[in-house]
Structure 1
Amino acid sequence: MTFDGTEAMRILAIGAHPDDIEAGCGGALVKYAQNGHRVFLMVMTEGEQGGAGELRKFEQEQAAKQLRVERIYWGGYQDTAIPMGRELIQSIEAVVKEVDPHFIFVHYHDDTHQDHRHLAMAAISATRYTKNVLFYEGPTTQNFAPTVFVDIDQVLNEKIASIEAHASQVRKTNIEALSIVDVIRSSAHFRGIQGRVKNAEGFLPLRLFINIGA
C-alpha cells in the first residue's frame, strides 16, 4: 500500500550499464519510491569496459540504495557486447513476468552506443504486454524529443546522490571540465524549461495510458 492507502505500483527500470538508469530516470524513480511504490532495476552488464566489474557492481548497489530499490536483476551480459535477438528478448521477458510492472523505463533506441540501442529494440518486443513503457535519454542518445515530463526539482539532490554513488564514472564525460553531475544538472534544467518547471526528466512513450475515473 502507498501512503494514501492505494495499491502500490511496481516500477521496472532497465539499463545496459551501471549508472544508465540513474542518469535517465533516477528522479522519477525516487518520486515513485517516496510515494510508497516498489522500484526494481534490471542492469544488463557490470560495465566492465569502464572499470573493474566488481567495483561498478558495488557502485550500482550503493546507487540503488539512494533510489530505494527493492531488487536489482543482473543480466549477465558483457559490456559493449549485448546481442540483438531472441536470447536478449527472453532475458527481459523473464524479469517482466516476475515483476509484472505497471511502468517500465528503458533506453531510447536512437543511440550511438550499441548496447543501449540493442537493449531498447529488444525491450520493445519484451514489453509488448505492459501498458506503460517510457523511453529515457542518456548522454549518447540522439534525436530525443520528449513529450512526457516529470518534475524532479524536489528530488534533484537525491538523483545527483545516486549518480555520485558511481564514483569511478563521475569524471568520464569526454567533455573538458564537465563531470557527469554537471551534465545531469544541465539536462534537468533544459528539460525543465521545456516542461515549464525548474528541473525535469523527459520521456518518450512507447505506450502510456491515462486513467480517468475509478
Structure 2
Amino acid sequence: MLGLTLTGVRSLVAVGAHPDDIEIAAGGLLLSLAAASPGLRVHYVLCTGSPDRQAEARAAAARFLPGAEITFALHELPDGRLPAYWNDVKEILHGAVGVLQPDLVICPAPNDAHQDHRLLAEQTPTVFRDQLVLHYEIPKWDGDLSRRNTYIPLPDDVARRKVELLHESFPSQKARDWWDDEVFLGLARLRGMECRSRYAEAFDCSKATLTFVP
C-alpha cells in the first residue's frame, strides 16, 4: 500500500450530527493533528444535542485537541429528524464556511445507515467545494460498516488514548450496550490490519488532487 503524506493542515472543520460522533469516528485523527500542528484552528459543528450533551462535546474537544484554537457552532435540531430540517442544516454548514476556510473537513460517510449522518454526508461536500473532505465511519447497531479507501494509521498509544478519552468525555453514554473498549479498539484493529498497521481509522475520500513535487 502506497502511503501519501498530508502536510500543511493548519485548520479543520469537524461536522457531526450528534455529540460524540466526531470523537468515536475520528478521535485518533484529532489527537494526531493536534500533536502535529501546534496552533491548529478547529471549528466544531454539531446539529443536535441537549445542553448537557453539548457540554460533553465542548469538554471532549478540549481533551482531544490540546493546544488547538477551537470554536463551536452547537445546535439543538431534533435528533433523528435532520432530513426534515434540510434547509436549516444547509444554513448551519454555510455558517461554518463564514467562520473558517479550512484545509481539511471531516463529516459522516454517505453510506451511513443513520438518516442524520447521511444528510450531512450529502450536504457537506456541496458547501466545502475547495477543501479536502474525509468521510468518517461510526460503528452502530445497524451494521453499516463497509469498504473504505483512506486510512490513518494510529500508534498503539494514540488508539488507546482515544478510547480513554471517550470514556472520560461522554459519561452519559456508558450505559449503552455497545459502548466499550472492544468495540472501539476492535474496529481500529480491523482497519489497521487492512492498511498494515496495528490500529487505524478509516475514511472515504470521493475527490482529491495529487501534486508531484520533485
Partner of 2:152: 150
Decide whether the 8 Å contact of 2:54 with 2:74 is kept in 1.
no
Runs of 5+ consecutive residues of structure 2 not aligned to the other structure: 1-6
User: How much does 1:103 deviate?
Assistant: 0.6
Tell me the alpha carbon deviations over residues 68-126 of structure 1, each in whole angstroms, 9 at most, x when there is no partner. 25122213312112135333222102202321011111001212211111221122322
Aligned partners of 1:19, 1:207: CA distance in 2, in Å? 26
SS in 2 for 1:133: strand
Decide whether the 8 Å contact of 1:109 with 1:117 is kept in 2.
yes
Q: 1:169 aligns with which of 173, 179, 195?
A: 173
Runs of 5+ consecutive residues of structure 1 not aligned to the other structure: 1-5, 47-52
Tell me the alpha carbon deviations over residues 180-213 of structure 1, each in whole angstroms, 9 at most, x when there is no partner. 4321111110100001000000111022333433
User: How much does 1:60 deviate?
Assistant: 1.1
Percent identical among aligned pairs is: 25
Aligned partners of 1:54, 1:180: CA distance in 2, in Å? 24
SS in 2 for 1:65: helix
In the alignment, structure 1 residue 55 sits paired with structure 2 residue 52: yes
TM-score, reference length from structure 1 = 0.83
Aligned CA-pair RMSD: 2.1
Letter in 2 for 1:187: L
Decide whether the 8 Å contact of 1:146 with 1:203 is kept in 2.
yes
Decide whether the 8 Å contact of 1:163 with 1:181 is kept in 2.
no
Letter in 1 for 2:22: I
What are the within-5 Å matches in structure 2 for residues 96-175 of structure 1? 96-127=97-128, 129-140=129-140, 142-153=144-155, 154-164=157-167, 165-173=169-177, 175=178
What are the within-5 Å matches in structure 2 for residues 35-54 of structure 1? 35=36, 36=38, 37-46=40-49, 53-54=50-51
Count of residues paired in the alignment:
198
Aligned partners of 1:10, 1:106: CA distance in 2, in Å? 15
Decide whether the 8 Å contact of 2:104 with 2:132 is kept in 1.
yes
Aligned partners of 1:125, 1:189: CA distance in 2, in Å? 32
Aligned partners of 1:14, 1:110: CA distance in 2, in Å? 16
User: How much does 1:130 deviate?
Assistant: 2.7
